[in-house]
Structure 1
Amino acid sequence: MKNNYLKSGPVFLAFLCMGFGDVVGPLTSQLQSEYQLSNFLAGFVTFMGFIMFGLLSVPMGLYQDRKGKKHVLVLGMIAALIGLLLPIIGQFASFGLLLASLLLLGTGATLLQVAGNPIMRDVSPDGKYSRNLSFGQFIKAIGSLSGALLPLLAAKYWGLDWKILFPIYAILVLIAVIYLWIVKIDEKKNNTSSPASFGSVLALLKNRYVFFMVLAIFLYVGAEVSMSAKLPNYLEYKFNFDIKEMGLWGTLFFFLSLMIGRFLGGVILNWMIPSKFLRLTTLLSILGIASLYFATTSLFGFVSIFIIGLGFANIFPLVFSITIDAMPERSNEISGLMVTAIIGGAIVPLIFGAVVDIFTLMVGFAVPMLCIVYILGLSFYNIKQV
């Protein structure tokens, strides 16, 4: 079948809203500077944004097996909308209010990930799921990019700061939920004799293939969040950038390269098989991280950041789609497990921060490096499904 853009449109818009959850990365360096937090404590900003992935993903994967993916998408948008409105209503009165907002925003992002990744298969032509998922991640990268770009523009042209993100995001999420509510999507039924359950999820996790791929998602997301949170600190550490005025350029450039890489990935996957592309993109990621250590000028540093973003861009959709394509009849359980693994975005940055506090910032970058090395090894290892 051909792409039905009326039906796929709200799904792509849902991916844009997913990206809003990544605002915790750019906010980390800003809040760390403002509140004089240690690297370890600053990691709790991302922790609040990602903890719900670990708590809700599997239960919501089972819930959507009964209620449907579109239903869960709508619930996710509503949760995100409440989270975005909360600090606006409370006039950003306290840091606790902001953390509660990020927790709800993370809840919304969790539900959008659980439902959005598999529902993309329902609106994709045969054999084009990986391509469309990469394009969906490209759209998500636009949402992620906005978390760094909009505060920079607001400060330069309007004398405002990161608070401007909340009303803008709220309006876009409201539009998305109305659009999704109106459009009818025909969801593919799983060809299984029994519905998904906690038992079936645990049994699936005993499959070596699924376990190693879920671990890859855990490590990748942790590496990506670590990068988005610590690249401003890298520019300050290596090139004396002012972290409040110029530091966000590191995160902005990273998300820009992610966006470009995901667009290119959607094109490349028209002619390159996903498994081969995964090897190529992980090698590029490792090259980019290694080059951070050798950068002697800010230009070299930004080139390194750009290479990292290009390499990182398609790892998540490739691992996700390769796994679901291998076992499409268990897409809801796999989606729940893989979105649970996004909790790596809460755990790995804490490890990164602890390593930085004990050693130095540059030693800390070995943490995301090791995460990507694992995925590279996995891409070369032919795991038999048992």
Structure 2
Amino acid sequence: MKNNYLKSGPIFLAFLCMGFGDVVGPLTSQLQSEYELSNVLAGLVTFMGFIMFGLLSVPMGLYQDRKGKKRVLLLGMLAALVGLVLPILGNFSSFGLLLGSLLLLGTGATLLQVAGNPIMRDVSPEGKYSRNLSFGQFIKAIGSLSGALIPLLAAKYWGLDWKLLFPIYSGILLVAAIYLYVVTIEEKKDDSASPASFGSVLALLKNPYVFFMVLAIFLYVGSEVSMSAKLPNYLSEKFSYDIKELGLWGTLFFFIALMTGRFLGGVILNWMSPSRFLKITTLLSLIGIAGLYIATSSIMGFAAIFLIGLGFANIFPLVFSIAIDAMPERSNEISGLMVTAIIGGAIVPVIFGAVADVFSLMGGFVVTLVCIGYIFGLSFYKRK
């Protein structure tokens, strides 16, 4: 089976739209500076963007087991589109409306993650799921990168700000939804497997292997969101960067490294096993985080940030695809559990913020060090 680019095209476009949900990370430092928020309150901004992952992922995983992944993808695009259009219609006059918008955007991102990751297996050649999922995450990283890049360009060249993201994202989502609607996708299903249910999901979660992998997603996503939200503060505190003018370069550089790493991951996984690559990439992440502490110049700081991004780049698709490939007959339930774990993006940054408020910002980065350290240890775990 070769790649069918007509059918895989809208799936890769859906991954681009997934990245739009990560805009809450770059927005956090901007809102924290503008409204003089504490680290804990700033963490609540990301909470709005990620809370629906915890509430909807399993129910939508069960729904798509009966109704199909393509339908869930379309529903996700519609929810995100509504969320992006509402502030435009309201002229961004209400902060409450903006929070509601981020909640709907997070809802759309949730549905796209639930359906997008397993449906990639349906359009991938045999044995190339991990590769295509890493490349899909590379496309997602482009969407994530735009949340930091577009506001910088808008401020420098057009005298505009982050609000420009909303009409741009809306237009792309509309095109993606139309493209997906007109394409026919044959979804694979194991007829010998019993239908998914809350009981089967809970039974899977009792499996130590599945539980450890789900926890890995929880900790990884929380670490990634913490990095995208707090790297501008790191540059400001350690190297006196102005957050509004230069701080977003920390997040932008991080997302560039993510995007680069995911592209390279799609190439490396043609000849390296996912389990071995997971060991290497988590070790690289730990070295990068340690580099934040020993950096004595902004050049060293940016080098550490880039190393973190390269290391982080493939952790999510590797953990996800390894778990799915281990139990493909339960892909919908595992997908629901994995995407539920993305709620780590709402919880871990709050823990990071609490530690930073009590100790220091650099103390907060210990939280991410512990999270990635767990995944590094898990990479040596042998499933029985």
Task: Verify same fold: TM over 0.5.
Answer: yes
Secondary structure in 2 aligned to 1:190?
A: coil
Q: CA deviation at 1:130?
A: 0.1
For 1:159, the equivalent position in structure 2 comes to 159
Query: Partner amino acid for 1:94?
Result: S
SS of corresponding position for 1:365 = helix
Work out whether residues 72 and 115 of structure 2, in 8 Å CA contact, stay in contact via their aligned partners in 1.
yes
> CA offset at residue 193 of structure 1?
4.0
Kindly state the Cα deviation for residue 94 of structure 1 after the two structures are TM-superposed.
1.4
Tell me the alpha carbon deviations over residues 211-241 of structure 1, each in whole angstroms, 9 at most, x when there is no partner: 0000000000000000000000000000000
Match in the other structure for 1:309 = 309
The equivalent of 2:83 in structure 1 is: 83
Matches within 5 A, 1:131-210: 131-210=131-210
- One-letter amino acid matched to 1:324: I
| Alignment CA distance shift 1:329-1:153 (3 Å) | same
What code does the residue aligned with 1:170 have? Answer: S
In the TM superposition, what is the alpha-carbon distance from 1:285 to its structure 2 partner? Answer: 0.1
Q: Counterparts of 2:324 and 2:309 in 1: how far apart (Å)?
A: 24
User: How far apart are the structure 2 equivalents of 1:193 and 1:162?
Assistant: 47
Alpha-carbon distance in structure 1 between the residues aligned to 2:256 and 2:161? 20
1:292-315 deviations in Å (ceiling 9; x for gaps): 001111111000000000000000
Cα distance in 2, alignment partners of residues 292 and 252 from structure 1: 16
* 2-structure distance, mates of 1:98, 1:357: 26
User: Is residue 2:3 matched to residue 1:3?
Assistant: yes
Matches within 5 A, 1:24-173: 24-173=24-173
Aligned length: 384
Q: Shift of the alpha carbon at 1:190?
A: 2.5
Q: What RMSD over aligned residues (CA atoms) do the two structures have, in Å?
A: 0.5
Does the residue aligned with 2:244 lie in a helix, a strand or coil?
coil
- Secondary structure of the 1:382 match is coil
1-structure distance, mates of 2:293, 2:192: 50
SS of the aligned residue for 1:187 comes to coil
Structure 1's 188 and 235: CA in aligned 2 closer, same or farther, altered over 3 A? Answer: same
Residue 124 of structure 2 aligns to a residue whose secondary structure is coil
Q: Secondary structure at the match of 1:381?
A: coil
User: Which residue identity is paired with 1:225?
Assistant: V
Paired with 1:74 and 1:372, the residues of 2 have a C-alpha distance of: 33
AA matched with 1:107: T
In the TM superposition, 1:172-251 aligns within 5 A as: 172-251=172-251
The residue type paired with residue 29 of structure 1 is S
**Aligned equivalents of 2:173, 2:257: Cα separation in 1:** 24
2:226 counterpart letter in structure 1: S
Q: Which runs of 4+ in 1 moved over 6 A?
A: none
- Cα gap change, 1:3/1:160 in structure 2, threshold over 3 Å: closer, same or farther? same
Q: Which residue is equivalent to 1:18? A: 18
Give the C-alpha shift of residue 380 in structure 1: 1.1
CA distance in 2, matches of 1:89, 1:44: 25
Q: Which residue in the other structure is 1:361 paired with?
A: 361
Amino acid at match of 1:356: A
One-letter identity of the residue aligned with 2:88: I
Rounded Cα–Cα distance in structure 2 between residues aligned with 1:97 and 1:356: 29
Comparing 304-313 with 189-198, which one deviates more in the overlay? Answer: 189-198
Identity score, percent: 82
One-letter amino acid of the counterpart of residue 43, structure 2: G
Residue 339 (structure 2) pairs with residue 327 (structure 1): no
Matches of 1:224 and 1:77 in 2, distance apart? 23
For residues 383 and 307 of structure 2, the distance between their equivalents in structure 1, rounded to whole angstroms, comes to: 29
Name stretches of at least 5 consecutive residues in structure 2 with no aligned partner: none
Q: d(CA) in 1 for partners of 2:192 and 2:181?
A: 28
What letter is aligned with 2:260?
I
User: Helix, strand or coil: the match of 1:37?
Assistant: coil
CA deviation after TM superposition for structure 1 residue 191, in Å: 3.5
Distance in structure 2 (CA, Å) of the matches to 1:296 and 1:366:
18
Q: Which segments of 5 or more consecutive residues in structure 1 lack a partner in the other structure?
A: none
Give, in whole Å, the separation in 1 of the partners of 2:313 and 2:306.
10
Moved more, 171-180 or 185-194: 185-194
Q: Distance in 1 between matches of 2:37 and 2:49?
A: 17
